[in-house]
Amino acid sequence: MAVWRLPVHASGALTRDFGFRRLFLPPGAQLFIGNANRQLGAYSDADNQRSGQFWTPLLYGDDALIEVLLPRSMKPFLEIDLGTVHVGYRDIFRPANDAQSFFNPGVGSGRRNVDTVCPNG
């Protein structure tokens, strides 16, 4: 077996999710994305998308490890292009009246900026 690993750290992040511009997992390959709190996967060739893109759900915490395990004979067929790492610094699931809530209109853009929450937005 061959192993490909990429540690990802975003200091102070509450959440992260990952967008692969191109992901093709050949037969026998497994993709895992996780940290001490949660593991996403194992994703396999059954999860390959026609578009070639792949997006993950939210992973809580500021550390993550992206790992692919595959048979050595399949290495030439693996395609992996991580294009986006979204980092969340506000919890979208906190109650709206919480100061750190994503839905608190006082958090985010400045008082004089037009925000998507504003009537002008």
Question: pLDDT by residue (tens digit) across 7-64?
Answer: 999 999 989 999 999 999 999 999 999 999 899 999 999 999 999 999 999 999 999 9
Mention every residue, 6+ apart, whose C-beta is less than 8 A from residue 35.
Answer: 59, 60, 61, 63, 64, 65
Task: Please write the tens of the pLDDT for every residue from 81-118.
Answer: 999 999 988 776 666 556 555 555 555 555 555 655 56
CA distance 71 to 28: 6
CA atoms within 13 A on the CB side of 3: 7
Phi–psi pair at 62, nearest 5 degrees: -100, 0
Give the Cα separation of 24 and 27 in Å (integer): 10
